[in-house]
Amino acid sequence: MQVTETLAEGLKHEFQISVPASDLDAKAGARLVDLKDKVRLNGFRPGKVPVSHLKKVYGRSVMAETVEQTIRDTNSQLFSERGFRLATEPKVTMPTEEKAVEDILEGKSDLTYTVSIEVVPPIQLADFKSFTVETPVVDVTDADVDDAIKRIADANRSYAAKAEGAKAETGDRVTINFKGSIDGTPFDGGTGEGIQVVIGAGQFIPGFEDQLIGIAAGETRTLKVTFPKNYASEKLAGQAAEFETTATAVEAPEDAKIDDEFAKALGLESLDKLKEAARERLTAEFAGATRQRVKRMLLDRLDEAHRFEAPPSLVEEEFRLMWNSIKAEMESGGKTFADESMTEEGAEEEYRKIADRRVRLGLVLSEIGEKNKITVTDDEVSRAVIERARSMPGREKEVWDYYRSNANALAQLRAPIYEDKVVDFILELANVTEKKVTREELFKEDDEKSVA
């Protein structure tokens, strides 16, 4: 076998490989001998078929299999000897001329082919003991609990009819009947009866609720609005419409009395139990936000500490997935890059940077996991499937069957579990400190968001 490297540019390599016809013939002959005791041909007793006859019958197919296996074995040996970790599947280029192919299959000429590859660069992992990670810590205060319960009360508040002739105000609930039209013509979905609207809640298209301010029960108004350009229905998007609207009831919100009876209405024993449940939920919410902040900071640190050329094909693949998703989302929403105060070229440049970061971090996390034997067990994946199923009441079996029959979906569940385990491994080695912060500080948006 002769191997000649014909290209070595960065992470891209190409080799021309030549395997002597005699080697192929020997391998094919051994395969035919092996078949001798396995095949049955008319006129021959089992195991007594001459190899020469087998070659006439199966020679071409056996040689084709031999060529395929030889290419796989040769490539594997080449990559292993040179310490290559492939970023993508190798691209093999074979002779295409009919005579050249026939000569190889008939054992008349050597097998010569080229293999092009893109490799993962060697990754020198940082010393994680030198990492300093500051964990934000937020205490759940009594005021936080009271605010949470108030939000629950507001969401479950009742309404009482206002006095006859009373005008609707912001926060009031108005029950309406309406008929919509565009240029005097009714449109599908533009009619409703007994629809309850809380003024100021933002349930309807912009401008609709505001025009209900001052309306009284029994009063009819014509509301003039324009559907948003990104409205779900393309036929209505951007269209000016009129709604002939009649208010049938105007109700004012009642202040909810937060006591034991209120808690019992929510299925809890007492107000103390409601406060306890609210505190637990807030504690879990703060813990989740803290975890995300710490993980983001750690990924930023990993990004800074591991600067290397990412395999271009992986970056391009990651970019295309993101870019296609972004374009589809913008098109469905009727938005343009100008709406986001940027050009398409500028947005593309930013997403290519994000793609590069994602690929490098993925390779770093994979390297850490491999070197430290970090794995995800089947039990861990099963628990993730169960949690996903529980989050969709009534569809548990459907979710379970979906993951059991979809390897890609299971891989998508496995990936974040693996990432979290690697993050935990690093945190065990890093110098982790705590810093008391306010709830607002914990949840505030970073000026520059990091994308992992």
Last residue of a domain, one of 253, 278, 293: 253
123, part of any domain: no
The CA angle 116-307-316, to the nearest 5 degrees, is: 45
Look-up: residue for tokens 């709406």? 339
Whether 370 and 291 map to the same domain: the answer is: yes
DSSP H or E run through 5: strand 2-9
Whether 278 and 361 map to the same domain: the answer is: yes
Nearest CA to 133 out of 349, 301, 348, 276 is that of 301
Whether 102 and 53 map to the same domain: the answer is: yes
Whether 110 and 53 map to the same domain: the answer is: yes
Whether 249 and 281 map to the same domain: the answer is: no
Q: 387: domain range? A: 269-443
Q: What is the pTM of this model?
A: 0.74
258, part of any domain: no
Contacts of 186 (CB under 8 A, 6+ apart): 179, 180
Q: DSSP letters along 323-344, please? A: HHHHHHHHHHTT--GGGGTS-H
205, part of any domain: yes
Whether 235 and 306 map to the same domain: the answer is: no
Whether 282 and 423 map to the same domain: the answer is: yes
Nearest CA to 223 out of 238, 209, 239, 237 is that of 209
Whether 324 and 424 map to the same domain: the answer is: yes
- What amino acid is encoded at 305 in this protein? A
Q: Give the C-alpha separation, 281 to 202, whole Å.
A: 27
What CATH number is attached to the domain comprising 204?
3.10.50.40
135, part of any domain: no
222, part of any domain: yes
Last residue of a domain, one of 226, 253, 280: 253
Whether 222 and 109 map to the same domain: the answer is: no
Beta bridge partners of 9: 12
Whether 379 and 231 map to the same domain: the answer is: no
The dihedral formed by the CA atoms of 422, 426, 427 and 431, expressed in degrees to the nearest 10:
-170
187, part of any domain: yes
> Do residues 299 and 361 touch, judged by C-beta distance below 8 A?
yes
Q: Give the C-alpha separation, 173 to 181, whole Å.
A: 24
DSSP H or E run through 12: strand 12-19
437-450 b/e with 16+ CB inside 10 Å = b? bebeebeeeeeeee
Tens of pLDDT, residue by residue, the chain (452 residues): 899 999 999 999 999 999 999 999 899 888 887 776 666 666 665 666 676 767 777 778 888 999 999 999 999 999 999 999 999 999 999 998 999 999 998 888 999 999 999 999 999 999 999 999 999 999 999 999 999 999 999 888 889 999 999 999 999 999 999 999 999 999 988 999 999 999 998 889 999 999 999 999 999 999 999 998 778 787 898 899 999 999 999 999 988 889 999 999 899 999 999 999 999 999 999 999 999 999 999 999 999 999 999 999 999 999 999 999 998 888 776 778 887 788 989 999 999 999 999 999 999 999 999 999 999 999 999 999 999 999 888 888 899 899 989 988 999 899 999 999 999 999 999 999 999 999 888 988 544 444 44
Whether 166 and 314 map to the same domain: the answer is: no
76, part of any domain: yes
In this structure, the number of other CB atoms found within 10 A of the CB of residue 199 comes to 22
Last residue of a domain, one of 253, 288, 308: 253
Total number of domains in the chain: 3
The CA angle 307-312-317, to the nearest 5 degrees, is: 115
What CATH number is attached to the domain comprising 105?
3.30.70.1050
451, part of any domain: no
Q: Give the C-alpha separation, 178 to 222, whole Å.
A: 9
What CATH number is attached to the domain comprising 387?
1.10.3120.10
Whether 367 and 314 map to the same domain: the answer is: yes
